[in-house]
Amino acid sequence: SDPSWVQLYLPSGVETYPYAWVDASQARALSLLSPVLAQCEEAYVMVTVKRDLFGTGRLVQVEDLSLGPAGCQPTIHNAPENTVIFYAGLHECGSVLQMTPDFLVYSISLHYKPTPSSHSVIVRTSPVDVPIECHYPRRNNVSSNAIKPTWIPFASTISAEEKLRFSLHLMNEGWSSERASNGYQLGEVMYIQAQVIAENHTPLRLFVDSCIATLSPEADSSPRYPIIDYKGCLVDGRFDSNSTFSMPRFRDDVLQFTVDVFRFSKDPRDLIYITCHLKVAAATQAPDAENKACSFHPATNSWVPVEGTTDICSCCETKNCVRTTGQGSSHLDQWGRRLGRDVAAKLGM
């Protein structure tokens, strides 16, 4: 392929609800009961494992169970019920993200690897790998059936019609329409527009929390290159003056930014994945360290916010962007960040 050619593809989405899929056939071959249960929440997956994994009455050792390539250990051991529970963020433990036209699919496996006791060289059970998938609709309020109790006073006022739909599009140079072609040459500039559509909703302001470029669908894979990081800092602007947020916004629910076309220097693969996390906050809430859009200004060697005071961008240098003590956040802000979705774009080069 032409090493200077770049393509971007953004699949469309449909509205539905998240669901889990577990293939426990290896264990179920010996156990008539379901030994592994998965519950897909908005930001994490909860996996419950019965220690009687094979239905034989022989309990597996807790330390022989792990989750994902990273070997994450159980979070909870419920001795009375002989179960263990794993809690893992969707991007933790080595999970793999794949995209379909309708869903974001996070895949991970539960591993059982029996080890002999300290005085034995044998084991009496076989290793088992249990694939687990969490399917999330690419357009929907995925927390609609998983609202935390502390948020009930606000969430209970939300009607079924009040859905947030996030999108990420390539635009033409004038931002007037979507780009007709998804092909680029190195040296060109990508005009990227993030948007949220809120039906019958309180006015919201959109932010891009992060954008990571990788050579595989997993956002935490290596090599990886951060374009936007630290809760809204366009860090690529440190190295290229064309990478910047557009100022001022023309609408609170739209955020535009430009990035010079690039490729990874030491890898011949032709496909780059860019995963962006979008979130919203109440439009009436003043931007802060956790809700901001900051560009680097080379002429003054400083960070400049799209809106808000310049001090909210200072953490782009310290890389510690958290809300300072005493700064409150409305329920809407919490709910909005909770609704932040991974909007993944594939860059093929």
CATH number at residue 246: 2.60.40.4100
Domain check: are 218 and 128 in the same one?
no
Predicted pLDDT of residue 124 = 60
- Work out how many domains the chain is built from and give that number: 2
Is residue 289 in some structural domain? yes
Mean pLDDT over the full length of the chain:
75
pTM: 0.52
Domain check: are 68 and 174 in the same one?
no
Which is higher by pLDDT, 268 or 119? 268
What percent of the chain is modeled with pLDDT above 90?
27
Domain check: are 177 and 314 in the same one?
yes
Is residue 25 in some structural domain? no
Range of the domain at 195: 165-318
Domain check: are 178 and 109 in the same one?
no
Domain check: are 175 and 67 in the same one?
no
Predicted pLDDT of residue 215 = 83
Predicted pLDDT of residue 205 = 92
Predicted pLDDT of residue 99 = 75
Predicted pLDDT of residue 272 = 74
Is residue 65 in some structural domain? yes
Which three-class secondary structure string do you get for the chain? CCCCEEEEECCCCCCCCCEEEECCHHHHCCCCCCCEEEEECCCEEEEEEECCCCCCCCCCCHHHEEECCCCECCCEEECCCCEEEEEEECCCCCCEEEECCCEEEEEEEEEECCCCCCCCCCCCCCCEEEEEEEEEECCCCCCCCCCCHHHHHHHCCCCCCCCEEEEEEEECCCCCCECCCCEEECCCEEEEEEEEEECCCCCEEEEEEEEEEECCCCCCCCCEEEEEECCCECHHHHCCCCCEECCCCCCCCEEEEEEECCCCCCCCCCEEEEEEEEEEEECCCCCECCECCEEEECCCCEEEECCCCHHHHCHHHHCCCCCCCCCCCCHHHHHHHHCCEEEEEEEEC
Domain check: are 132 and 212 in the same one?
no
Domain check: are 213 and 77 in the same one?
no
